[in-house]
Amino acid sequence: MGDVIELGEVRIQLTRKRVKHVHLTVHPPNGRVTLVAPPNTRPEVARAYAISKLGWIKQQQKSLLSQARESPRRYVTRESHQLWGRRHLLTVVEADAKPCVKLDHRRIKLTVRPGSDAAKRAEVMHEWHKQLLHAEIPALIARWERKLRVKVSGYYLQRMKTKWGSCNHRAGNIRLNTELVKKPKDLVEYVVVHEMLHLLEPTHSERFVALLDRWWPQWQEARRELNALPLAP
């Protein structure tokens, strides 16, 4: 663990790594702040740098906290749901049959047993979301394995509160947030590429940024767009 720089109500986690330059980041969704500095950086130098960026930090935090957040889903007819970056209306049908979800143009049809509560409906939708992602992810991984000359040993889908994805460099696998099903497909591909690049460079070092610049030149725009879209509650 590194040190913590406290500037009034702003707390900054300081970590020293083998990097050439300081990297200051305000992380979604709650505005957590990290400062990565070279190993020999003195605490007072890191603090002075943080103070010089305090206005920017507060502006970034304000922007994140004012982002639109999805209201809690109730899974009722005519409720709005995001799918691949587009809004769809939900139709709920109660029937004594196996629960399922079907997509018909811009309408999502959720079939559930009579009397099912919101939690059960959410579970059925989540399983459907995973099916949709499983239909897209393998082809993306295969395409980028060829380009990057890496091998993904496996991928996993799960709900994540603060990350779109993660990579276990040693095991060679990646994890992806099931919330990605709500985002445009090009942003889903960006997250897949980002995590696969960690197989070449485990940390967010300058080498990693250079790899992003090479393989996904518009990565900063993609990251901004991804983090500007509505967040799950």
The Cα-based distances of 96 to 23, 113, 114, 116, 121 in angstroms read 56, 5, 7, 11, 14
The Cα-based distances of 103 to 2, 19, 44, 78 in angstroms read 48, 47, 57, 14
φ, ψ at 51 (rounded to 5°):
-60, -40
The whole model's pTM is what?
0.73
DSSP state letter for 204: S
pLDDT of residue 230: 56
Tokens of 215: 């393989």
Q: What is the CATH number of domain 80-228?
A: 3.30.2010.10
Q: Fill in the amino acid letter for 145.
A: E
Q: Please write the tens of the pLDDT for every residue from 63-101.
A: 777 665 666 789 999 999 999 989 999 999 999 999 999
Q: Per residue of the chain (233 residues), give pLDDT as tens.
A: 468 999 998 999 999 988 888 889 988 767 889 999 999 899 999 999 999 999 999 988 887 776 656 667 899 999 999 999 899 999 999 999 999 999 988 899 999 999 999 999 999 999 999 999 999 999 999 999 999 999 999 999 999 877 899 999 999 999 999 999 999 999 999 999 999 999 999 988 889 999 999 999 999 889 888 877 555 54
Residues 6+ apart with CB under 8 A from 177: 157, 158, 159, 160, 163, 164, 165, 191
pLDDT of residue 70: 64
Domain ranges of the chain: 3-65, 80-228
